[in-house]
Amino acid sequence: MGSAELPAFGKREGEGVRLLNARQDAVDEKSSTRPGNPPPPDPEEVSRMFGRIAGRYDLVNHLLTGGIDVRWRNRMVRAVAGTRPARVVDLATGSGDVAFALRRALPDHVEITGLDFCRPMLEEAERKKAARRHCPNLKFAFGDILQLPLDDGAADAVTISFGLRNLADRARGLREMRRILKKESGRLFILEFTQPARWMRPFYFPYLRHVLPRLAGCISGDVSAYRYLNTSIEGFPPKEQITEEIETAGFQDVRAHPMTGSIVTLHEARA
């Protein structure tokens, strides 16, 4: 698939949407590393990896989770809808699953923008959009979470689904999310893998380490991408630490809602 030109917007367009701006030169030690954990992800490698699996990304996700990933995303979408936003920004939008779910759940006048720094994933999102009959006020664009091409206070709600752990600098990313949200009223919604409940670990970690990479590799043709998925999940902090990091970034009323034996958590906060 050829590289498509995607829309840009905001007075900061042209600033900070290059992949190199996501490099690790300003990594916050507390939010990005813990003793014994792998180093923060390399953004260029993360982008290349997602580019390789873009075409089968949705299929693999649904098969590996038994379709429960749809339920996780729908819970986040319902939470967003409850705040009645006028403009939503979906970060690390990938192939657009959350953006499309938001479009279905919210009134047509609500503006939804999906941002990602992986071109092939954005092209997949655009392909899916073109196949749909009704997608008003929904657009996709290239954007780096660590330096978003949006004005201060531009959004009523920000969502990010399974993308926080891929940031080279979580603290900086969280600050950017707060910057683009309307102060006091803006809402943040983070859906992310986390450390499972104790009873879940004897089943979950063997699946994550051994079954998932092989099965996903057979479907996607890229075993290494799903080995990264395993290590990034195992090395990610528990929900309590993520809650603390969100608060440190300046958010208020931070809440964590664990799901499915705590393998996934929905974090909500107010800017």
In order of their start, the domains of the chain are 46-270 (3.40.50.150)
Residue 28 predicted with pLDDT over 50: no
Residue with tokens 């009134």: 107
Residues in the chain, overall count: 271
Q: Of 57-61, 102-106, 226-230, give the range with the top mean pLDDT.
A: 102-106
- CB atoms inside a 10 Å sphere around CB 40: 20
Tell me: the pLDDT tens digits for 34-57? 434 567 777 777 777 776 766 667
* Predicted TM-score of the model (pTM): 0.82
